[in-house]
């Protein structure tokens, strides 16, 4: 996955051996083909912005670093956060 690229949620989760929504709007998927964890911010029901990749030993700190930025990133990409739902 390329950081900064918007991909479909299906594509983001495709190679994932494991995936989780740690914080609302933040998706993490273990990519078995690279051995890395992809971190993405969900922009809509079907779109995810890839924001980071990391190894297993630093995933927790990366998630904690991205969590406070979720709303700002979504706002910059036109997500209506007040709705409580993602809109396309």
Q: Where residue 81 falls among pLDDT bands split at 50, 70, 90?
A: low
Residue 54 lies in a domain: yes
59 part of a folded domain: yes
| Residue 49 burial by Cβ neighbours in a 10 Å radius (0-12, 13-18, 19+) | buried
Mean model confidence pLDDT for the chain: 86
The yes-or-no verdict on residue 1 having pLDDT over 90 is no
CA distance 37 to 16: 9
Read off the pLDDT of residues 30-60 as tens digits, 9 standing for 90 and up.
888 888 999 999 999 899 999 999 999 999 9
Structural domain includes residue 81:
no
Q: Is the dihedral of CA 47, 49, 16, 22 positive or negative?
A: negative
85 located within any domain: no
Residue 42 pairs with which residues in a beta bridge?
48
In a domain, 64, yes or no: yes
Q: Which of 12-16, 26-30, 35-39, 69-73 has the lowest mean pLDDT?
A: 12-16
Query: Is 26 inside a domain boundary?
Result: yes
The domain tally of the chain equals 1
Domain that holds residue 53: 6-76
8 vs 16, higher pLDDT: 8
């Amino acid at each position: 996955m390329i950081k900064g690229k918007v991909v479909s949620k299906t594509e983001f989760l495709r190679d994932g051996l494991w995936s989780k929504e740690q914080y609302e709007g933040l998706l993490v998927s273990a990519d078995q083909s690279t051995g890395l964890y992809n971190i993405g911010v969900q922009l809509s029901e079907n779109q995810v912005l890839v924001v980071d990749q990391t190894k297993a030993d630093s995933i927790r700190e990366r998630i904690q670093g991205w969590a406070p930025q979720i709303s700002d990133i979504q706002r910059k990409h036109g997500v209506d956060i007040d709705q409580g739902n993602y809109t396309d």
